[in-house]
């Protein structure tokens, strides 16, 4: 049995989803961060709203910034957080 992903949600993503983190068993065929985001957004209306504006979301895998083409593996820690702008 594969070890699940640990998914962490920060800031308004945490508020919208209603959880700071979850353990998530990777479905067959989900092998990139982009595919994971696509899958999560189909779970229910809450996730769909949270992931609606994907350009406003940044991602990290194992505490390193990652783009949507980055592979995900069982046991990885995936974090989603809002893009931050400064001025």
State pLDDT tens for residues 40-68.
999 999 999 999 999 999 999 999 999 99
- Three-state DSSP class for residue 30: coil
Residues 23, 69: Cα–Cα separation, whole Å? 21
Is residue 30 in some structural domain? yes
Task: Show the domain range for 44.
Answer: 5-82
State pLDDT tens for residues 65-86.
999 999 999 999 999 999 875 5
| Number of domains observed in the structure of the chain | 1
Asked if the model's pLDDT at residue 7 lies above 60, the reply is yes
Local structure of residue 79 (DSSP, 8 states)? E
Q: What is the pTM of this model?
A: 0.91
Is residue 73 in some structural domain? yes
Asked if the model's pLDDT at residue 2 lies above 80, the reply is no
Is residue 72 in some structural domain? yes
Pair of tokens at residue 68: 């949507």
Looking at every residue in the chain, the average pLDDT score rounds to 93
Is residue 54 in some structural domain? yes
């Amino acid at each position: 049995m594969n070890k699940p992903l640990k998914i962490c949600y920060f800031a308004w993503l945490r508020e919208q989803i209603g959880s700071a983190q979850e353990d998530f068993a990777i479905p067959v065929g989900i092998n990139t961060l982009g595919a994971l985001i696509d899958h999560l957004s189909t779970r229910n209306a809450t996730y769909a709203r949270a992931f609606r504006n994907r350009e406003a979301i940044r991602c990290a895998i194992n505490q390193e910034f990652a783009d949507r083409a980055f592979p995900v593996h069982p046991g990885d820690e995936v974090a989603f957080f809002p893009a931050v702008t400064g001025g």
